Amino acid sequence: MNILFVTPSQVSSGEAVTALHMAEWLCAEGCKVHFLASEFTEAFMRTRLANVVSTLGPDLRTNQHTWQAALTNFRPAAVVFADYPLLAFRSGAAPLRDEAWESDLDRIDARLFTLDHLGYAQRSRIVFFGPALATLGFERIPPIPAHMHVLLPCPLHDPHNRALRGCPFRYWRDDPEQNHIESVDARTPYVRSPEELLVLHFTSHWACQGAELLRHPYYSLLPQAISGFLSGLGLPVTVLSVNNASLLPEVDSGNVRIINARPVEHAQFERLLLANDLVITENRISVSLGKSICHLRPCAILHNSYSLLDIMEGKAGSSRILAEKMERARFGSVFPFEVFPIWSRGDLEELGIFDETCLNGAFAAVEIFAGEAGARQFRNLLTDRSTREGMQAAQEGYLRRLRSLPTPLQILVETPSQARSSETAPSA
């Protein structure tokens, strides 16, 4: 079976990483794959799957010729977009879609699928990015073609969520024994002794860009918040931040060291997801967070549930110092977020991808302005056996649900009949 993947994003790797894991599993089962990848996503595709990648560049017509050549020469039985709605974006994706091209999809002799990581494929909608007072922009997302099937990648979706249209499936195989072998040496370059704790922080390319466009001081002050959470730990700890290589001011004070990772290849990042004592991120819907959960690593989401007024009035039980510094650096910097700096809890609920019951207990939510309460959460996550075992039990429960789902090959073969009935399911 030949499967063609299309990974158009120029700013986000999560969708393409899911497609990559799908492709590797399909290849192991005897399928052949080919990728049409943006210049951004092809960089790590070629390190894992050589000679199966064609590049989508900046020109629409050239990309459409590349598409047609792939259909003619590769003759796919299935085409998987990761994710199709990105092709309607005015920026941030390699150009491929126009009305004529989309109309021609009806005549392709292949089944069409789209992954739906963020709820974009559920219905037509307008999606805003950024806080209300300083929006980064918006995208108008049209409905996907009627004959295209929706696939819900797990993690992070809830395998039993009946509100979302589409078929949940698992896209990579977890092997705890192999995972342990691969993680043994990954932390060595970053810790100064075997006893030192390693905390892995990661930030997406688009988040770095968004904060820069907003001129937001969050990342410049984040080391202060993290140092406050970890300074009373009583153990040496290195916080390794995987970002654009220079995002955070570096810190080496007391028991806490915070460093930016130099450019990390995809394979090395995968090993770091296994080799840490704690994962932290500001992106509740990160694919890498989902993988960390499935690796049974302690995980924490840094978020903010409160307005500036709430914090000033002490409703968050927080230290006001960090919030005051942010506001002095840039007015309007304190706002609620679950995915910094673009989405709040309400935004995720609107997309249909905020479900507290799905991963209940599989990660901790830490208020960024929480002060001593946040420090207590970090201490428990790193040193309290009961806390770590409780989180691991919740993660194992999620893994058991994932293992009951179809594999990539099963979902591509079986979905047509399932997806037809799911198209009438209620929209999120």
Listed residue (145, 134, 140) closest to 108, CA to CA:
145
Higher pLDDT among residues 372 and 97, named by residue: 97
Show the domains of the chain with their CATH numbers: 2-174+405-422 (3.40.50), 185-383 (3.40.50.2000)
Q: Mark residue 51 as left, alpha or beta (left: phi above 0; alpha: psi -120 to 50; beta: remaining).
A: left
pLDDT of 420 reads: 36
Give the whole-angstrom CA distance, residue 408 versus residue 171: 6
Percent pLDDT > 70 in the chain is 93
Which residue's structure tokens are 């009806």? Answer: 106
Of the pLDDT bands very low, low, confident and very high (cuts 50, 70, 90), residue 184 is: low
DSSP annotation string for 229-241: HHTTSSS-EEEEE
Higher pLDDT among residues 354 and 115, named by residue: 115
Higher pLDDT among residues 174 and 298, named by residue: 298
Residue 61: how many other CB atoms lie within 10 Å: 9
Give the whole-angstrom CA distance, residue 366 versus residue 368: 6
Residue 267 has pLDDT above 90, yes or no: no
pTM for the complete prediction?
Answer: 0.89
Higher pLDDT among residues 99 and 245, named by residue: 99
Of the pLDDT bands very low, low, confident and very high (cuts 50, 70, 90), residue 371 is: confident
Of the pLDDT bands very low, low, confident and very high (cuts 50, 70, 90), residue 33 is: very high
The mean pLDDT value of the chain amounts to 89
Higher pLDDT among residues 268 and 18, named by residue: 18
Of the pLDDT bands very low, low, confident and very high (cuts 50, 70, 90), residue 423 is: very low
* Structure-derived torsion over alpha carbons of residues 272, 273, 275, 281, reported in degrees to the nearest 10: 100
Listed residue (109, 126, 108, 113) closest to 166, CA to CA:
113
pLDDT of 263 reads: 74
pLDDT of 135 reads: 85
Residue 70 has pLDDT above 90, yes or no: yes
